[in-house]
Amino acid sequence: MSHNTVNNEQYFNTDHLKADLKGRSVRGGAVTIAAQGSRFILQMGSTVFLARLLAPEDFGLIGMVTVIINFAGMFKDLGLSTATIQKAEINHKQVSTLFWINFAISTITAFVVAGLAPVVAWFYKEPRLVWITLALASNFIFGGLTVQHQALLKRQMSFTSLAKVEIISMLLGVVSAVISAWYGLGYWALVLMQIATAIANAVGVWVACSWRPGVPLRGSGIRLMLAFGGNVTGFNLVNYFSRNLDNVLIGQYRGPQELGLYAVAYKLVLLPIQQINTPITSVALPALSSLQNEPQKYSKFYYKAILWISTLGMPMTGFLMASADKVILVLLGKQWLGAVLIFQLLMPAAFNATIGVAMGWVYQSLGKVDRQLRWGIVSSIVNVILFLIGVRWGAIGIAAAYGLSRPIFLVAGFAYCYQGTPLRLIELAKTLLQPALASFGAAVVLIGINKLLPPGINDVIALLLDFVLYCLLYFAIWIVLPNGRSTLFEMLEVIKTFRGKAKRK
């Protein structure tokens, strides 16, 4: 057996992960959350800098193209990365074949998007979009080179390597954008940020993962993996269409100025949540996939992951809801105050997003992606109807229609998702009791306190005071709730255990 074969085989077997799954999950979660925190700082810092160097119209132009770019971007993956992570047993031939499928589709997608550049410009009546679309189309080729390498690193729970690559590539992208914007390149700064990040990420992933693809082979046993990936991609496509139709409608009927306000408000609403959801999902999906044949252990791990994701995510949303005007004023400046109401109306969607991602964990780890596709089709049809009604009132109408409808979607979604699984809605409700009530209660009290405070306080100081007060209120309400103190102590013990293991190493 050659040295290269030995190196390749180390990425396929996952039996060794079960010996210390809890420890790996905790350590992986800590690493990825720390990395996501770094990414959040970079994203927030770049947003703050670029919002002052660029105009809302610049963000609106990129937002118009981003709709089609992100939609086409789903074809570089085809759900095959998730198939590689989820499958109990895989081999070099299968992953090699999937790699070349991903790369071929990504290359074709790049040429298709480039060919659509004049159509995009015609649709929005904005000729500048031609060159923006052509430039961003190149990212698909770099993305196609990384799909299976990233999947193998996630399958082996190599989160430290993934974190290093993400942070370094993003840092390079942000630096290139800030420098470009400083020298007056306008919206091209946002284009260069995406291209620089994509190139750096491709190089970094190949350095971090020593696996190298072989030649594609027919009869390598990937038919079931392609079917799995097809269902995942189908869900992503219909979900993406319905979730991004809002940008298309606002851009078409209201123009880049209003779309810029909406796009930045939407990004700011979900940005903190993504810092929690992304790393925990990266840990939870491979861990749950390895437990798919052990229902009791699966349920126990799932509810603990839900507790962590809601405990970290829900208070972020509650704080943003209570201090929306100060957050936008301090971070973006007075020229963005028109986004405050949009921001507030989207808050219910952000609150639901803290745990909505956990439905995907179930569908994908248990191989029930056909059900996920069916749910996606139904929910997408309803979203389209809501957007078509809401666009009559512009960005505010769409934000209201989408945000206020999310609680109903959340309950219905989990009820359908849990059918035929060892999971139960009542257990989910018990798990969410403390973080949900503490987050919402702290927000309500903080809003009341702010109404009693005299005006004229410095904006930055006022925001810092809000943050400190919210944290104190959140933990105070948590502790007085039934079983709140014991649950909090259990979570702290997990952190202490992790820190102890880290010190011994």
pLDDT by residue (tens digit) across 347-386? 888 888 888 888 888 888 888 878 888 888 888 888 888 8
The verdict on residue 204 lying in a domain is yes
The verdict on residue 186 lying in a domain is yes
Q: Within this chain, do residues 137 and 126 fall inside the same structural domain, yes or no?
A: yes
Say how far apart CA 24 and CA 31 lie, in whole Å. Answer: 10
Q: Within this chain, do residues 303 and 176 fall inside the same structural domain, yes or no?
A: no
Q: Within this chain, do residues 189 and 242 fall inside the same structural domain, yes or no?
A: no
Q: Within this chain, do residues 128 and 259 fall inside the same structural domain, yes or no?
A: no
Domain boundary (383, 408, 425) is at 425
Q: Within this chain, do residues 249 and 366 fall inside the same structural domain, yes or no?
A: yes
For residue 268, give its domain range: 223-425
Q: Within this chain, do residues 229 and 213 fall inside the same structural domain, yes or no?
A: no
The verdict on residue 449 lying in a domain is no
The verdict on residue 124 lying in a domain is yes
Give residue 390's identity as a one-letter amino acid code.
G
Among 199-203, 212-216, 424-428, where is mean pLDDT lowest?
Answer: 212-216
DSSP per position, 45-93:
HHHHHHHHHS-HHHHHHHHHHHHHHHHHHGGGTTTHHHHHHH-SS--HH
Tally of domains in the chain = 2
Q: Within this chain, do residues 239 and 189 fall inside the same structural domain, yes or no?
A: no
Q: Within this chain, do residues 22 and 131 fall inside the same structural domain, yes or no?
A: yes
pLDDT by residue (tens digit) across 140-194? 888 888 888 887 787 777 777 788 888 889 889 988 988 888 888 888 888 899 8
The verdict on residue 464 lying in a domain is no
Q: Within this chain, do residues 204 and 232 fall inside the same structural domain, yes or no?
A: no
The verdict on residue 418 lying in a domain is yes
* Bigger pLDDT: 502 vs 163: 163
Identify the DSSP state of 377. H
Q: Within this chain, do residues 183 and 55 fall inside the same structural domain, yes or no?
A: yes
The verdict on residue 456 lying in a domain is no
Nearest to 358 by CA among 443, 301, 290: 301
Q: Within this chain, do residues 78 and 185 fall inside the same structural domain, yes or no?
A: yes
- What is each CA distance from 406 to 14, 42, 253, 400, 426, in whole angstroms? 37, 29, 24, 10, 19
CB 292 within 8 A of CB 365: yes
CA torsion through residues 307, 312, 316, 318, sign: positive
Q: Within this chain, do residues 56 and 23 fall inside the same structural domain, yes or no?
A: yes
Domain boundary (425, 451, 469) is at 425
Instruction: State pTM to two decimals.
Output: 0.63
Say how far apart CA 387 and CA 398 lie, in whole Å. Answer: 5
Highest mean pLDDT among 43-52, 251-260, 346-355, 432-441: 432-441
Helices (H) and strands (E) in the chain, counts: 22, 0
The verdict on residue 450 lying in a domain is no
Domain boundary (380, 407, 425) is at 425
